[in-house]
Amino acid sequence: MNLLSLYPSRPIAKAAIEYSLDVTLKRGVENGYYGHNDTLHVVLAPFGVLTLIAEEKKEIIAALSSLGITLGSEEESTLITQDYPLHIDPMIEPAFEVTNEAIILKSASTHNLNIIALAVSQSVGLEHYEKRLNTLFLQSRKIIDSIHSFSITRRSHLMQFAKRLALTRHDMVSNLLLLDKPNILWDDAEAEALYNRLAFILELYDRHEIALSKLSQIKEDVMLVMDLINHKQSEFLEWIIIILILVEIVMGVMQMIR
């Protein structure tokens, strides 16, 4: 079996997936959906990552084509994807084995496939935010490099950047479901063990912590620049007050002379 998770370049609606792939999607993990037909298992994560599982890779490619996605095309060259081979071996003990190369299951139940799709889709979603953070990190570096020429009039641009930063942090924490154990894992030790093993192999928690650390660093940079802008603004107002006082003194002296 083959698994492919991807972050679409544009959001795909639940209804569009049902119509194009001839599946009925039911409520799955948190606010996500899952469904299957004779050849395809589909999982749509709440943060927009689409996961397709099929016996043959060509079936996945055909499904993506039905959705208007062509892997390797110039338009879709920036797609974030991750694939994972799945093998079924009824003889293995315990119920699963997970390595960097493949996932081996004792049986391909819907529950197991949803657990695997969740972990891999979180990895893809995390990569999306990692790329977004790299862009923000480069922008924060440019802001620091130009700190000597930063004017009060550019304060609004900095506020917009801070807003983007706060929204990125909020989306990461609320969407990826990495801070709280998903409901699908409660009261199911085997499912939890499978998810935990996948999370370890995919380094979900370490990557999440690194991403949050980058966010904190960018936040500190923004706060530093904001403090300097506020200081410049205070200096500007102080000079205005000094100039007004001097003008008043000069006018008072001139009036006394007259």
Question: Per-residue pLDDT averaged across 83-98, rounded?
Answer: 85
pLDDT tens-place string over residues 24-71 = 888 887 778 888 888 899 999 888 899 999 888 888 888 888 888 887
What pLDDT score was predicted for residue 3? 92
Other beta carbons within 10 Å of 110 = 14
Task: Specify the pLDDT at position 82.
Answer: 87
pLDDT value of residue 38: 85
pLDDT at 109: 84
Greatest CA separation for the chain:
110
- Rounded to two decimals, the pTM is 0.79
Q: 226 pLDDT exceeds 80?
A: no
The count of residues in the chain is 258
The whole-number pLDDT of residue 93 equals: 80
Query: Would you state the pLDDT for residue 172?
Result: 79
What's the pLDDT at 4?
92
CB 42 within 8 A of CB 25: yes
Q: pLDDT tens for residues 111-167?
A: 888 889 999 998 999 998 888 888 888 877 777 776 666 555 566 777 777 778 888
Q: Which of 202, 211, 195, 186 is nearest to 133 (CA)?
A: 211
Taking the CA atoms of the chain, what radius of gyration do you get in angstroms?
27
pLDDT of residue 151: 58
Residue 128, helix vs strand vs coil: helix
The pLDDT of residue 52: 92
Q: Which residue has the tokens 């924490």?
A: 173
pLDDT at 89 over 70: yes
Do the beta carbons of residue 45 and residue 120 sit within 8 Å? Answer: no
| Average per-residue pLDDT for the chain | 82
pLDDT number for residue 91: 83
Mean predicted confidence (pLDDT) in 70-98: 79
**Residue 73 pLDDT exceeds 70:** no
Q: How far apart are CA 103 and CA 94, in angstroms?
A: 13
